[in-house]
């Protein structure tokens, strides 16, 4: 069982049992830099948020090429993951903002303006990505947003424009319909992403 869930379960048991002694329980507020605590009778229980613990088997490489590919993957994930997370945050912000717009015409105008601004801001940076980094970015967008880049484009820009961009990507050996498979073919990538996200690589 994941240690984070185990700790959460234990804290839940402590807190639920503590609630049976409600008349004797008080919650201490804590100044900055200190942890809050529950006081149950004469006992004090600190409330501590523990980070997740991830344990992976040691990487074993068949040869130097495989090892080099792994370290290249680490470099590529560090390069592309921030863009995938940016796409996700932009998606959330765009959806929330579009909900406030009065009609479909206003929504389409906003999307065109946003598309133009994003091209202007990110095109120079994205052009510096290698083909393999571009393919990886497409998969990481699927990981962050839980749907393929093609589906995102289709939802916001329509089928025709999504098809155009997918055709454009295919000329470089990529597909916007690529799906992320963290337990299968992308298992090693998922390992690297988790370690990078937690500052362990």
- Does the pLDDT at position 103 exceed 80? yes
Q: pLDDT tens digits for 163-181?
A: 656 665 675 567 777 788 9
Q: pLDDT tens digits for 148-162?
A: 777 776 776 666 566
Q: What are phi and psi of 25, to 5 degrees?
A: -105, 135
Mean pLDDT of the chain: 77
Query: pLDDT at position 47, please?
Result: 80
Query: How many whole angstroms separate alpha carbon 11 and alpha carbon 50?
Result: 11
Domain ranges in the chain are 3-46, 64-197
**143: closest CA among 72, 200, 84, 80?**
84
Ramachandran sector of residue 198 (left: φ over 0; alpha: ψ -120 to 50; beta: rest): alpha
The tally of CA atoms less than 13 A away on the side-chain side of residue 29 is 1
**177: closest CA among 185, 167, 186?**
167
Query: pLDDT at position 159, please?
Result: 65
Angle of CA points 12, 15, 16, to nearest 5°: 80
């Amino acid at each position: 069982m994941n240690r984070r869930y185990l700790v959460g379960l234990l804290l839940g048991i402590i807190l639920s049992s503590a609630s049976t002694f409600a008349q004797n329980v008080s919650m201490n507020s804590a100044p900055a830099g200190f942890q809050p605590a529950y006081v149950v009778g004469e006992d004090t229980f600190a409330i501590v948020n523990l980070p997740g613990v991830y344990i992976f088997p040691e990487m074993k490489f068949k040869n130097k090429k495989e090892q080099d590919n792994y370290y290249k993957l680490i470099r590529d994930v560090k390069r592309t993951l921030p863009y995938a997370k940016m796409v996700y945050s932009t998606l959330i912000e765009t959806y929330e903002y579009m909900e406030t717009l009065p009609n479909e015409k206003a929504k389409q105008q906003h999307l065109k303006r946003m598309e133009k601004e994003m091209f202007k801001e990110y095109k120079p940076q994205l052009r510096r990505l290698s083909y393999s980094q571009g393919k990886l970015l497409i998969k990481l967008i699927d990981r962050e947003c839980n749907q393929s880049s093609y589906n995102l484009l289709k939802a916001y820009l329509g089928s025709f424009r999504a098809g155009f961009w997918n055709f454009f990507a295919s000329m470089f050996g990529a597909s916007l319909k690529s799906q992320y498979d963290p337990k299968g073919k992308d298992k090693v990538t998922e390992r690297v992403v988790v370690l990078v996200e937690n500052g362990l690589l």
